[in-house]
């Protein structure tokens, strides 16, 4: 794979490109509105949904509060059950650990369960550099991989593609990676799925090493959990001889009983199903059944940095359901690539700066601003991450990281702060703007209702007036009217 998020432009520029892609706009509007309706229907039938959300948030918060203890407990129980536990501080360490396992078994390919953590660390490229092919087996990840594309959604990485495009990708590229697509392939979902099934089957049966992530890791029992829809995960988790799982350290839940809450919250929030088709759980090695060599890589890669952020640490509650993406009016229009990360949408807008730190690169610093702060994400989040509040806090961190700034925006904010410093000063500014409005006389258009409109404003104001009308400043401000009449002239 050569596609990469590295070097992506800041959000406003990337969004401008994406907004011009009319096919993608249609695909996303259709897909997100369908999944929004499904989610709303299955969430509304749960009477204690709000209690479940509160419970989910509380379990995650308590776990994060004592994360060190729970992690050691997990390592202990995993080791006791025959797994080998590795600790990775960053992406490079994690990739090296996985590559090392593959190399020791002398394989040139691994099969992969859909996993955000492995995409986050760029595992496929790292393995390719070692001459090891990593085959994605999730249908949407397969579409992305075959198309040399980038994922644009957490749950449905190929959400930006429609059926016709998928047919085209299969016909053109499946042969390069293994069994070709049938030449008479149509864009019927059942035919597309069958082509993928046949293509993947030979990989499942051949591969000696599998790589997965985990949706949850139970500290008490040393159980890892993968929740999926297609059954490809079950194949990867049971057929190969060796299994390596890359698990973010925030995936922990203390006990098996805690899973109860999340297995109710996750499917309804993500796919809009009451229950997902496949839930696989495993703990270490079971002699004679499934992989006989099991490795678990516990991944930090910025998570402890996020944990240190008082407001932002709630982002580590995230269970990667994608509900916030599906309800986000920004995501619906720009799609996921504009966010320049494997984690797009509202959660990506906070998670990326929290994991990478602010004030480091322009692209990451642009993400907290990629939101109108409408709050739909917070409302949908199954673990009650207050994304708008975290966005606003991260914006303050971005601004503070660049102080003192001479950017036009910073100067404008300082000027506005001064103008708004007292009612008298604001009144003076209003008298000037009212005068300017009057000087324009009766030129220009009129809005419905009779207000005179301003023409095009030069400079940064053009970002408004290029696309939207703006009323001319009124001759008399409210303040001036009140002073003149005491509020009693009508």
Partner 1 sequence: MVTCINDALFPDAGRAVVRLLHRLGVDVEFPAAQTCCGQPMVNTGYLDEAVPLLRTFVDAFDGYDAVVAPSGSCAGSARHQHAAVARRSGDPGLVAAVERTSPRVHELSEFLVDVLGVEDVGAFFPHTVTYHPTCHSLRMLGVGDRPTRLLRAVHGLRLVDLPEAEQCCGFGGTFAVKNADTSVAMGADKARHVRETGAEVLVAGDSSCLMHVGGLLSRQRSGVRVMHLAEVLAATEGAA
CB closer to partner 1, 202 vs 400: 400
Closest CB 384 distance from partner 1, rounded Å:
13
Choose one: 225-233, 254-262, 272-280, 441-449; the region binding partner 1 (CB under 8 A).
Answer: 441-449
**Burial class of residue 304 in the structure, from the number of CB atoms within 10 Å of its CB (0-12 exposed, 13-18 middle, 19+ buried):** middle
The yes or no reply on residue 373 touching partner 1 (CB under 8 A) is yes
Q: Name residue 216's beta-bridge partners.
A: 225
The yes or no reply on residue 375 touching partner 1 (CB under 8 A) is yes
In contact, 36 and 380? CB cutoff 8 Å: no
Total binding residues toward partner 1, as defined by CB under 8 A: 73
Fill in the per-residue mask, 331 to 370: x = in contact with partner 1 (CB under 8 A), - = not in contact: --xx---------------------------------xxx
User: Strand, helix or coil at 280?
Assistant: strand
Signed CA dihedral, 23, 24, 29, 30: sign only: positive
Here the tokens at position 356 are: 């990478």
The yes or no reply on residue 176 touching partner 1 (CB under 8 A) is no
**286, 455, 460, 484: which one contacts partner 1 (CB under 8 A)?**
460
- Host H or E run for residue 294: strand 293-299
Closest CB 264 distance from partner 1, rounded Å:
24
CA distances from 452 to 94, 206, 448 (A): 62, 73, 9
CB closer to partner 1, 71 vs 399: 399
Closest CB 420 distance from partner 1, rounded Å:
4
CA distances from 392 to 312, 332, 369 (A): 10, 21, 8
Choose one: 164-172, 246-254, 272-280, 447-455; the region binding partner 1 (CB under 8 A).
Answer: 447-455
Choose one: 58-66, 165-173, 214-222, 456-464; the region binding partner 1 (CB under 8 A).
Answer: 456-464
Closest CB 361 distance from partner 1, rounded Å:
17
Closest CB 17 distance from partner 1, rounded Å:
9
Choose one: 209-217, 242-250, 342-350, 395-403; the region binding partner 1 (CB under 8 A).
Answer: 395-403
The yes or no reply on residue 50 touching partner 1 (CB under 8 A) is no
Q: How far apart are CA 348 and CA 6, in angstroms?
A: 15
384-407 burial, b for 16+ CB within 10 Å, e for fewer? bbbbbbbbebbbebbbeeeeeeee
Signed CA dihedral, 213, 383, 313, 368: sign only: positive
Choose one: 189-197, 198-206, 220-228, 393-401; the region binding partner 1 (CB under 8 A).
Answer: 393-401
Residue labelled with tokens 């536990």: 85
Instruction: Quickly count: other Cβ atoms within 10 Å of residue 309's Cβ.
Output: 20
The yes or no reply on residue 26 touching partner 1 (CB under 8 A) is no
In contact, 386 and 314? CB cutoff 8 Å: yes
**277, 329, 444, 455: which one contacts partner 1 (CB under 8 A)?**
329
**72, 186, 420, 455: which one contacts partner 1 (CB under 8 A)?**
420
- Length of the chain (residues): 490
């Amino acid at each position: 794979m050569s596609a990469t998020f590295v070097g992506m432009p800041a959000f406003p520029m990337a969004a401008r490109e994406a907004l011009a892609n009319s096919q993608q706009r249609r695909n996303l509007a259709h897909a997100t509105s369908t999944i929004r309706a499904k989610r709303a229907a299955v969430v509304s039938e749960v009477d204690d949904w709000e209690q479940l959300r509160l419970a989910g948030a509380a379990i995650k918060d308590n776990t994060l509060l004592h994360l060190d203890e729970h992690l050691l407990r997990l390592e202990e129980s995993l080791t006791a059950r025959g797994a080998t536990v590795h600790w990775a501080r960053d992406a490079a360490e994690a990739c090296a650990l996985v590559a090392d396992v593959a190399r020791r078994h002398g394989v040139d390919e691994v099969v992969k369960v859909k996993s955000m953590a492995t995409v986050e660390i760029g595992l496929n490229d790292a393995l390719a550099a070692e001459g090891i092919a990593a085959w994605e087996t999730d249908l949407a990840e397969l579409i992305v991989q075959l198309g040399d594309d980038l994922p644009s959604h957490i749950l449905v990485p190929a959400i930006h593609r429609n059926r016709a495009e998928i047919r085209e990708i299969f016909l053109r590229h499946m042969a390069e990676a293994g069994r070709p697509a049938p030449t008479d392939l149509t864009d019927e979902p059942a035919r597309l799925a069958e082509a993928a099934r046949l293509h993947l089957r030979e990989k499942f049966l051949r591969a000696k090493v599998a790589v997965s992530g985990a949706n949850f890791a139970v500290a008490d029992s040393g159980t890892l959990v993968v929740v999926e829809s297609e059954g490809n995960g079950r194949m990867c988790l049971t057929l190969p001889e060796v299994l390596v799982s890359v698990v973010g350290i925030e995936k922990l839940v203390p006990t098996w009983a805690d899973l109860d809450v999340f297995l109710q919250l996750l499917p309804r929030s993500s796919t809009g199903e009451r229950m997902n088709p496949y839930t696989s759980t495993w703990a270490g090695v079971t002699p004679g059944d499934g992989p006989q060599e099991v490795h678990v890589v516990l991944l930090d890669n910025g998570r402890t940095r996020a944990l240190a952020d008082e407001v932002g640490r709630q982002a580590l509650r995230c269970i990667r359901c994608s509900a916030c993406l599906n309800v986000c009016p920004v995501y619906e229009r720009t799609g996921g690539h504009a966010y320049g990360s494997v984690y797009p949408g509202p959660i990506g807008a906070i998670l990326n700066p929290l994991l990478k730190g602010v004030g480091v690169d322009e692209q990451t610093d642009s993400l907290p601003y990629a939101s109108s702060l409408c709050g739909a994400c917070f409302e949908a989040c199954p673990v009650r991450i207050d994304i708008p509040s975290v966005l606003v806090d991260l914006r303050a961190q971005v601004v503070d990281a660049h102080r003192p700034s001479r950017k036009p925006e910073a100067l404008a904010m300082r000027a506005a702060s001064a103008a708004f410093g007292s009612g008298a000063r604001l009144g003076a500014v209003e008298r000037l703007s009212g005068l300017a409005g009057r000087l324009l006389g009766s030129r220009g258009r009129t809005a419905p209702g009779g207000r005179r409109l301003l023409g095009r404003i030069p400079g940064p104001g053009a970002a408004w007036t290029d696309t939207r009308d703006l009323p001319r400043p009124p001759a008399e401000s409210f303040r001036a009217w009140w002073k003149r009449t005491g509020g009693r002239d009508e």
